[in-house]
Amino acid sequence: MTADVFIREQPDQLATGPKTLALFPGQGSQRPGMAAWITDYPVAEEVFRRADDILGIPLTQLCVDGTAEQLRATDVAQPAIVATSLALSAVRAQRGLPPAAVAGHSLGEFTALAVAGVFDEDTVLQLVRRRGELMAEVSRRYDGAMSAVIGLPAEQVDALCARVTSGVVGVANYNQPTQTVVSGAATAVADLEDLARSAGAAKVVRLKVAGAFHSPLMADIAAEFGAELDRYTLRPPLVPVLSAVTADYVTDPTEIRALLRGQLLAPVRWVETVQRAASDGYDELVELGPGQVLTGFSRRIAPDVSSTAVSTPEEQG
Helix then strand then coil, in percent of the chain rounded to 5, is 50, 15, 35
pLDDT recorded at residue 4: 54
The C-alpha atoms of residue 30 and residue 33 are separated, in whole angstroms, by 9
What are the domain boundaries of the chain?
3-139+217-316, 143-210
Task: Using DSSP, state whether 274 is helix, strand or coil.
Answer: helix
Residue 15 pLDDT more than 70?
no
Query: Residue 208 — pLDDT band, cuts 50, 70, 90?
Result: confident
pLDDT digits (tens, 9 = 90+) for 159-176: 999 999 999 999 999 999
Q: What is the pLDDT averaged over residues 43-58?
A: 95
What pTM was estimated for this model as a whole?
0.93
Q: What is the pLDDT averaged over residues 80-107?
A: 95
> What residues are labeled active site?
106, 214
Cβ atoms of 93 and 233 closer than 8 Å: no
Assigned CATH class of 3-139+217-316: alpha beta
Give the CA count within 13 Å in the CB-facing half-sphere of 205.
Answer: 11
pLDDT recorded at residue 11: 46
Q: What is the pLDDT averaged over residues 201-225?
A: 93
Residue 56 pLDDT more than 80?
yes
Mean confidence (pLDDT) of the chain: 92
Sequence letter at residue 300? R
Residue 12 pLDDT more than 50?
no
pLDDT recorded at residue 39: 83
pLDDT recorded at residue 14: 46
Q: What is the pLDDT averaged over residues 18-44?
A: 93
Assigned CATH class of 143-210: alpha beta
Q: Is 69 exposed, middle or buried (0-12, 13-18, 19+ CB in 10 A)?
A: exposed
pLDDT recorded at residue 17: 61
Alpha helices in the chain (DSSP H): 12-16, 42-55, 59-65, 68-72, 74-94, 108-115, 121-141, 154-163, 186-198, 219-229, 253-262, 270-279, 293-301
pLDDT recorded at residue 13: 44
Residue 45 pLDDT more than 50?
yes
pLDDT digits (tens, 9 = 90+) for 247-305: 999 999 999 999 999 999 999 999 999 999 999 999 999 999 998 999 999 999 999 99
pLDDT recorded at residue 251: 96
